[in-house]
Amino acid sequence: MKIRSSIVREIQTGGVAELHKYLQSAIELEHATIPVYQTALYSIKPGTNREAAAIIASVAREEMLHLNIAANVLNALGGAPVIDKPGFIPVFPGPLPMGIGDLRVSLQKLTRGHVYDTFMAIEQPEQSLDLPVSEPRLAPLAALRAPAVPPAPTAEPEYATIGQFYEAIIGKLEELGAPLFTRPLSPQVVDNTWFPPSQLFPVDGVESAVAALTVIIDQGEGTKLSPLESPHGGPVAHYYRFAEIVYARRLVRDASHPNQFSYSGAPVPLDPAGIWNLVADAKSVDYAEGSQARRISDRFNYSYTSLLKALHETFNGRPDNLSKALALMYEQKLLGGDLAATRIDGTDLQAAPTFEYATQPM
C-alpha cells in the first residue's frame, strides 16, 4: 500500500503532536484492513477452503495485534486512542487511511483476483522479493508483480510504504527519546494469552517502542532479504502469505533459487463451490427494510459498533475489557456467517456485512 510521502516527511520534521496524530492513524489503518479480510473469510462456507481461510484468519488476527501495539505505543506517549467513533471505519469502497488514491479497497467475497489486487497490495513491501511460482498457469501473475527497475531517485519520492511509515515513527521516537514517554496512567494492554511475549509486551520507553513497531513491520512485509518475519525464520510475512493463495502453493525453502524460497509447497486450493456469492461493498440501504438480510445486518453492525466501544474502553484504561471485545469478535463471526448464508430477496446474491457504525443504539 502506498502512503502519501508527505506523511513521512511530516513525522520526520514534526514533534510529539505528529507522533500522536499518526499513531492514531496507524490504529485506524490496522483496523481498516480487518473488514476487508473478514468479508473474504465470511464468504467461505464452513468446512471448505480451509487452507485459504486459515491464511486470511492468521493475517486478520495479526492486524489486531498491530492495532494493539500501536495503541500501546500511543498510550505510553500519553495519548488516548480513539476507536469508538463513526469516522474510525473507512468508507468501502475507498482508500485506506493515509493511503493515496490508487488503491481503492473493496469488501468482496474471496477470489484469487481480490487477494491479488487488494490483499497483496495492502501488504506490499518496500521491495518484494522475486520468488518462483511452481504452478505454470499462475506464474504469469507473479511476473506482473515482478519488481520493476526502481525509478532514478528524485528529490521527493511520490509515496512510502507502511513499513517506511513505521520506520519514520521509529526514527522520531529515537530522536526525541525518553522524555516522550510520560508514563501515563493508562495501563498497557498486554494479554499474552493470545499473543506471545515476543510479539506483545509493555511499551515503556524508546527501546520497547522500537521493538514493538518492528514487530508490525516484520509481520507485514518480512525482512528485506527474506519473506519471513525474521531473518532467523518464523512465519511467512503477510504479503507472501496472501501470495500463497494466489499462486496456489505454500511458500517453502528452495535452495535451487537465489532467494531461497519458491511457491512450490503443499497446495492451497481455492474451490469456488465453497464460496458464497457475496454482494460487494454492501450498504444497509441495499437490504430492504424488514428483510432477513437487513435484520441480521443491523445486528451485525450493532455488534461491530459494540466491539469498537469495548476496544475503546480496553485501550483507554480498562484492559480487562479485552475479554468483552473478544466475545464480541466471536459474536460478529457468527452474525457474519449468518449474513453470508442469507440470500438477498429477489437476487442470486448472498448478503454481506456492511461494517457501518450503528449510530442508532439498540
Residues that bind another protein (CB under 8 A): 45-48, 193-194, 273-274, 276, 290-292, 295, 299, 303, 305-306, 309-310, 313, 321, 323-324, 326-328, 330-331, 333-334, 337-338, 341-347, 350, 358-362
Q: φ and ψ at 191, to 5 degrees?
A: -100, 100
- CB nearer another protein, residue 213 or residue 351: 351
User: In this structure, what are the phi and psi dihedrals at residue 110, rounded to the nearest 5 degrees?
Assistant: -70, 120
Nearer to another protein, 257 or 299 (CB): 299
Contact 310, 326 (CB under 8 A): no
Cell 532514478 maps to which residue?
152
What is the nearest approach in angstroms of another protein to the Cβ of residue 14?
31
Residue nearer to another protein on the CB measure, 203 or 268: 268
Residue with cell 511467512: 236
According to DSSP, the residues that pair with 251 across neighbouring strands are 263
Q: Which three cell numbers stand for residue 194?
A: 493470545
Residue 312 CB, nearest distance to another protein (Å)?
8
Non-local (6+) Cβ contacts of 126 within 8 A are 161, 163, 164, 221, 224
Q: Which C-beta is closer to another protein: that of 6 or that of 330?
A: 330
Minimum distance from CB of 209 to another protein (Å)? 27
Side-chain-facing half-sphere of 150: CA atoms under 13 Å? 9
- Helix/strand/coil for 103: coil
Residue position matching grid coordinates 459474536: 331
Minimal distance, residue 47 CB to another protein, in Å:
3
CB of 303 to another protein, least distance (A): 7
If the CB atoms of residues 153 and 361 are measured against another protein, the closer one turns out to be 361
